[in-house]
Amino acid sequence: MPELPEVETVREGLERLLKGERIDDIAVYHPRAVQRSEGDVAGLAVFGGRTVEAVVRRGKFLWFEMEGIALNFHLGMSGQLLVSEPGAPAPDHPHLRARIMFKDGSVLRFLDQRTFGYLQRSSLTEVSDGRPAGQGTESPFIPVPVAHIARDVLDPWVEVGDIARRTRRRRTEIKRAMLDQTLASGMGNIYCDEALYRAKINPRRKTNGLSYQRIEALWHHSKDVLREALEQGGTTFDALYVNVNGASGYFSRSLQAYGQGGKPCGRCGATMTRIQFMNRSSTFCPICQPFSGGSSSRL
């Protein structure tokens, strides 16, 4: 499951290996790998001869700036981007969805078991605040399909106070708000559970029933969780193999809430509760993260 830290690791690898290179050709092996792409599969031909000017990320979206247009990627649930340097093999694979061949002989392969991921040709549009559109660029231009996605919590231009104020205006459950990519992007189920655990907030608490201070603290915890995961996960990938690996070190060593249902809480020893929530699971400590009032209303 590539989450924001994994996508940023991939971005850094692609930037290091492919920035400045020119695309020769793109081959597509599965129709679902190209979704909502301008000109459909045939439209990808315009990338031939164009240079990768920047490799940019906002939330879990990743794109190449290519001389006025974007080649935009989303890895979905199971996507991988693998770079083979010139002369190295780039073999077929049962889940191979596309190959991007570069003039220098490099090959970028897109693999995706569950085909939730895709690549697409997109026009660029200017972001309203005029600031750099994402990690990896100074340009304020963003692919049209990404324009509605908010800045992510690791974005240097984002202000936690601003996210907190907009969160508090919502009238919904706090975890729903955290997963809403138009409020702040990049928070998946795993990192939401971890941040809520650290902030001692029940996932079903209402946004308007929490103080500004607690919501602000929650977003600071969110930022910390993502930064720590990035620091740990970013060291496990070598230069030749830009990988996305759900079993990164962070997952096995550091998770305190996600996947811990039935196990004792690391703080108080109570049994961690797992509930169904938004067609997925949500795990929390019933003592540290109570649903109603009590100690949870204080910091």
Partner DNA sequence: ATAGCGGCCTGAAGGC
Partner DNA sequence: TGCCTTCAGGCCGCTA
Q: What residue ranges bind DNA (CB under 7 A)?
A: 1, 3, 32, 36, 59-61, 74, 76-77, 94-95, 113-116, 145, 148, 170-173, 176, 179, 181, 185, 188-190, 258, 278-281
Backbone phi, psi, residue 275, to 5°: -125, 160
Beta pairing, strands 79-84 & 96-102: unpaired
Separation between Cα atoms, residue 177 and residue 71, nearest integer Å: 29
Cβ nearer to DNA, comparing 94 with 293: 94
* In the complex, least distance from residue 1 CB atom to DNA, rounded to whole angstroms: 5
* In the complex, least distance from residue 40 CB atom to DNA, rounded to whole angstroms: 14
- Residue keyed to tokens 């792409």: 37
Active site residue 231: no
Cβ nearer to DNA, comparing 90 with 192: 192
Distance of CA 297 to the CA centre of its chain: 31
- Active-site annotation holder among 165, 171, 227, 280: 280
- Tell me how long the chain is: 299
Active site residue 228: no
Cβ nearer to DNA, comparing 61 with 64: 61
- Active-site annotation holder among 57, 58, 60, 175: 60
* In the complex, least distance from residue 21 CB atom to DNA, rounded to whole angstroms: 26
Q: In angstroms, what CA-CA distances link 171 with 167, 175, 244?
A: 9, 12, 35
Terminal-residue alpha carbon distance, the chain = 32
Active site residue 151: no
Cβ nearer to DNA, comparing 87 with 91: 91
- Active-site annotation holder among 2, 5, 143, 145: 2
* In the complex, least distance from residue 193 CB atom to DNA, rounded to whole angstroms: 8
* In the complex, least distance from residue 247 CB atom to DNA, rounded to whole angstroms: 11
Q: With beta carbons less than 8 A apart as the criterion, state whether 196 and 175 touch.
A: yes
- Residue keyed to tokens 């915890």: 221
Cβ nearer to DNA, comparing 2 with 17: 2
Q: With beta carbons less than 8 A apart as the criterion, state whether 151 and 58 touch.
A: yes
Secondary structure string (H, E, C) spanning 35-79: CCCCCCCHHHHHHCCCECCEEEEECCEEEEEECCEEEEEECCCCE
Active site residue 286: no
Active site positions, annotated = 2-3, 60, 280
